[in-house]
Structure 1
Amino acid sequence: MTKFGSTQAAELRATKDVFISAIRYATSIVDPSPPFGDELRTCAQEQVEFMLGDNEEILVVIADEEIKQETRMGLCKIFSSFEKALLALLLLELDVKDKAVENKVMQNLSDVEWLCNILVKTDLMKDFVSHWADISNDVLRVVEDKKLHSVMWGLKVKLIEVTSKVLDAVGYGNVILPAPGRVHLLKAWLPYVRKMKPLLDSMGNKEADFPYRMDEELSQSIEGAIVSLVSALPSNSQAEILADWMNGEHLKYPDLSEAFEVWCYRTKSAKRRLLEALAESPLQFSASASD
Structure 2
Amino acid sequence: MPIISRIKPVDLTATKNVFVSAVRFATSTGESCPPFGDELKISAQEQIEYMLGEDEDMPLVMADDEVKSVVRTGLSRIFSTFEKQLSSLVLESDIASDTAEANILHCVSDLEWMCSILPKMELMKDFVSSWAGISGGILGILADKKLESAMWGLKVKLIEVSGKALEAVGYGNVILSAPIRAQLLKSWLPYIREMKPLLDSKGTEDTSFPHKMDEDLCQSIEGAIISLVLALPSNDQADILADWMEADQVSYPDLSEAFEVWCYRTKSAKRRLAEGLRRVDNTTVSLE
| Alignment partner, residue 124 of structure 1 | 123
CA RMSD of aligned residues (A): 1.4
| Alignment partner, residue 7 of structure 2 | 4
Residue segments in structure 2 that go unaligned for 5+ positions in a row: none
Shift in CA distance, 169/272, structure 1 to aligned 2, threshold 3 Å: same
Look up the SS of the partner of 1:56 in the other structure. Answer: coil
* Kept after mapping to 2: 8 A contact 1:161/1:218: yes
In structure 1, distance between residues paired with 2:70 and 2:119: 16
Runs of 4+ with >3 A deviation: 31-35
Deviation for aligned residue 1:284: 1.8
TM-score by length of 1: 0.94
* Kept after mapping to 2: 8 A contact 1:133/1:185: yes
> 1:173-208, CA deviations, whole angstroms, 9 ceiling, x for partnerless residues?
000011101110111100010011111011000001
Q: Sequence identity of aligned pairs in percent?
A: 59
* Kept after mapping to 1: 8 A contact 2:196/2:252: yes
Deviation for aligned residue 1:43: 1.1
Aligned ranges 1:133-282 → 2 under 5 Å: 133-282=132-281
Deviation for aligned residue 1:145: 1.2
In structure 2, distance between residues paired with 1:56 and 1:223: 36
Matched, 1:50 2:53: no
Deviation for aligned residue 1:56: 3.2
| Alignment partner, residue 109 of structure 2 | 110
Amino acid at match of 2:64: D
> 1:125-160, CA deviations, whole angstroms, 9 ceiling, x for partnerless residues?
000000100111111111221101111111000001
In structure 1, distance between residues paired with 2:15 and 2:221: 37
* Kept after mapping to 2: 8 A contact 1:164/1:221: yes
Aligned length: 285
Deviation for aligned residue 1:219: 0.2
Residue segments in structure 1 that go unaligned for 5+ positions in a row: none
| Alignment partner, residue 19 of structure 2 | 19
Amino acid at match of 1:98: S
Deviation for aligned residue 1:242: 0.3
* Kept after mapping to 2: 8 A contact 1:194/1:250: yes
Amino acid at match of 1:41: K
Amino acid at match of 1:78: I
> 1:43-88, CA deviations, whole angstroms, 9 ceiling, x for partnerless residues?
1111111111144321221121111000000000000000000001
TM-score by length of 2: 0.95
* Bigger mean CA offset, 45-54 vs 167-176: 45-54
In structure 2, distance between residues paired with 1:37 and 1:72: 24
| Alignment partner, residue 71 of structure 1 | 71
In structure 2, distance between residues paired with 1:153 and 1:25: 29
Deviation for aligned residue 1:32: 6.6
Deviation for aligned residue 1:37: 4.5
Aligned ranges 1:92-107 → 2 under 5 Å: 92-107=91-106
* Kept after mapping to 2: 8 A contact 1:170/1:229: yes
* Kept after mapping to 1: 8 A contact 2:32/2:38: no
Look up the SS of the partner of 1:53 in the other structure. Answer: helix
Look up the SS of the partner of 1:52 in the other structure. Answer: helix
| Alignment partner, residue 83 of structure 2 | 83
Deviation for aligned residue 1:93: 3.6
Look up the SS of the partner of 2:38 in the other structure. Answer: helix
Deviation for aligned residue 1:38: 1.9
In structure 2, distance between residues paired with 1:32 and 1:219: 35
Deviation for aligned residue 1:225: 0.3
* Kept after mapping to 1: 8 A contact 2:78/2:111: yes
In structure 2, distance between residues paired with 1:133 and 1:254: 20
* Kept after mapping to 2: 8 A contact 1:82/1:108: yes
